Amino acid sequence: VVPSCWGAPPPFSGWGGAPDSSATRCSEFAHHFADKVAQIRSDLDASLEALPGEVTEASVCSILWDSFQFVQPDDVDKILGAVRATTCALDPCPSWVLKQASGGLVDWFVAIINASLGQGKFPSSIKQAVVRPILKKASLDPTNPCNYRPISNLQFLGKVLERVVASQLQGFLEDTDFLDQSQSGFRPGFSTETALVTLVDDLRRELDRGSVTLLVLLDISAAFDTIDHGILLGRLSGMGLGGTALQWLQSFLEGRSQLVKLGDTCSDPWPLTCGVPQGSILSPMLFNIYMKPLGEVIRSFGVRCHLYADDTQLYYSFPPKSKEA
């Protein structure tokens, strides 16, 4: 009854049978997205191996937070009301059904969420994402997979669980003032406006001093998709996470997979050995934690910077008649 009300086929209906153009296209996209990330990771690993000898270890921090707080029915009821009713093809029923029936399902959600938090495990059954390729610009060639951006859709229960953890993790980041102040992306009270105001103010101040400023704009390719899980977990441990809190985040990162879906047809799923899931509520927060040392490294060379997620602005000011000019 539910699939017919939903107006969509049951999950995985496109698998099996003789290959057709849709199946071939799904496979092409899947290989393209997987190969792109694998190539970037390979290049990064090769660059790391080429670095001379000593690599500075992350500072060791005592455990400040070892477990997530359990939720109450009122907490879950608010979250269910706030989460968007976007349905994933892997959901057993439409998310709007769960939202409308939330009054009778709250205790069920509370039990699942608290079991997950208490055991430090993210349910493996909701780790798979459905990717829909979106053309980056309407003017680009639609037959070339390189012109598409992978947009992931995750299951509804996972989004609810993530929102619980994200709320608590955000509070911890604010209490410890952990994030780099030059980062304006995905932070309460910060935005593209604050990023631009800060940058323009710095440039105008240097102009008033009679200085010349060199500005370099950087964009990291596949930034979310290439995050090293080991490094990220080291960052989380270094900021004071331990116990089941750290175990839960490790479980959230590992054992993931995704598949491409076009219409009613799906590709075979492929495992994700790095990166954080795009479309996830937690991913932007984890990305900021992962990127935290970047600002410190840049400033150590006497260069100022500002970041909005992975968009990085480097700027260096100097007198126009100096040797640097």
Q: For residue 261, is pLDDT > 60?
A: yes
Q: Output 134 or 252, whichever has higher pLDDT.
A: 252
Note the pTM of the prediction, 2 decimals: 0.84
Q: Tell me the angle at which helices 229-238 and 243-253 cross, rounded to the nearest 10 degrees.
A: 160
On average, the pLDDT of the chain sits at 86
* Cα(102)–Cα(254) distance, integer angstroms: 30
The confidence score (pLDDT) of residue 51 equals 63
Instruction: Write out pLDDT tens, residues 137-154.
Output: 899 998 888 899 888 899
Q: Is residue 88 part of a domain?
A: yes
Query: Which whole number is the average pLDDT over 289-315?
Result: 91
The answer to which of 62-66, 225-229, 238-242 has the lowest mean pLDDT is 62-66
Instruction: For residue 324, tell me if it sits in a domain.
Output: no
Whole-number pLDDT of residue 7: 36
The answer to whether residue 258 sits within a structural domain is yes
**108-127 confidence digits (pLDDT tens):** 999 999 999 999 999 999 99
Identify the band that residue 321 occupies on the pLDDT scale cut at 50, 70 and 90. Answer: confident
The answer as to whether 323 is a domain residue is no
Residue 93 lies in domain:
2-48+59-318
Query: Over 60: is that where the pLDDT of 10 sits?
Result: no
Largest CA distance in the chain: 77
The Cα–Cα gap between 127 and 124 comes to 5
Looking only at the bridges linking them, the beta strands covering 256-262 and 128-135 are parallel
Q: Does any domain span residue 325?
A: no
Is 87 part of any domain? yes
Which pLDDT belongs to residue 208?
94
pLDDT at residue 12 above 50? no
Domain assignment present for 54 = no
In a domain, 53, yes or no: no
Specify the number of domains making up the chain: 1
